[in-house]
Amino acid sequence: MPRFEPKLEFIADLAGSVTMPVPVGPAAWGTRLIFPLVRGTVEGPKIRGVVRPFGADWAILRADNCLEVDVRLIVDTDDGAVIHVEYRGVVDLTQEDVEKLLGGKTVEGMRIYTAPRFETSHPDYVWLNRIQAVGCGSGVVEGEELNVSYSWYALRS
């Protein structure tokens, strides 16, 4: 029996679009792939707004075909707050999945698991600075963009 059982409190859904990756090439930990952010929205009971179009995912494709995401973005809320969001996470892929993704094709069943952290000074949102969140999502290739969507939850106990 676990000592603590987490509960999830829904924060918001993020829907965003990034360009197909800019490959930097092999690095010490894997192949660096940068996915520049094009646009995004955040809609939910706790946060509503738009994502500024200058963040990115500085992902690493590891030798075991796991993609480690490393995202930073800024949300401008509908009520005037500015929230910095950063998250790391993993996408478990097969070699075939990697070839599809890098070839601009959708990977069926692709799941992205993340751990968002928030930073803001806006009085209505400073509670975000004090939580650990989790997110799960997926991505779909459409033309020259990868459209990603996530659901963000605050961990509670």
Q: What is the pLDDT of residues 121-154, one digit of tens each?
A: 999 999 999 999 999 999 999 999 999 999 999 9
Rounded CA-CA distance 69/82 in Å is 23
Mean per-residue pLDDT over the chain, rounded: 96
pTM, rounded to two decimals? 0.94
Q: What is the CATH number of the domain that holds 135?
A: 2.40.160.20
Domains identified in the chain, total number: 1
Please check whether residue 2 lies inside any domain of the structure: no
The domain containing residue 21 runs over which residues? 7-156
80 close to 50: Cβ distance less than 8 angstroms: no
